[in-house]
Amino acid sequence: VKERKAFGQPVASFQNTQFKLAELATEVEIGQAFVDNLLSAHVNGEDIVSEVSMAKYWASALQKRLTGECLQLFGGYGFMKEYPISQDYADAAVPPIYGGTNEIMKVIVARDLGLA
């Protein structure tokens, strides 16, 4: 985004790009803190099945949305296989599916909330 120009300016100079990347960087930090916290809890032998299910669906959904938002910043080039973001976007479709789909993760969380 710093290199590519649109309307004579780098895409990174548009406030929308700056806000988008600031938001995504913030969400990555939040996700990292959540996962780090769960790792500590796991090492301490705590029962974190519900929280891990939350983290699995939330973090993988974030990855999918994040790569889509970043691909958008590349414009049409983002769709081209020569650009790594294209592969990142395709790869991000898998984590919400494998290891138990995100819908099943939510079933586990709902059960823990006494809803199912």
Interface contacts to ligand FAD, rule CB under 6 A: 94, 97-101, 103-104, 107
Q: Least distance from C-beta 10 to ligand FAD, angstroms? A: 36
Nearer to ligand FAD, 10 or 99 (CB): 99
| Buried residues in 77-86 as b, exposed as e (16+ CB within 10 A) | ebeeeeeebb
Decide if 100 contacts 93 (C-beta within 8 A).
no
Nearer to ligand FAD, 23 or 103 (CB): 103
Nearer to ligand FAD, 6 or 97 (CB): 97
Nearer to ligand FAD, 49 or 94 (CB): 94
Q: Least distance from C-beta 32 to ligand FAD, angstroms? A: 24
Helix runs in 7-113, H state only: 15-43, 49-73, 84-91, 102-112
Decide if 31 contacts 59 (C-beta within 8 A).
yes
Closest by Cα among 25, 2, 21 to 13: 2
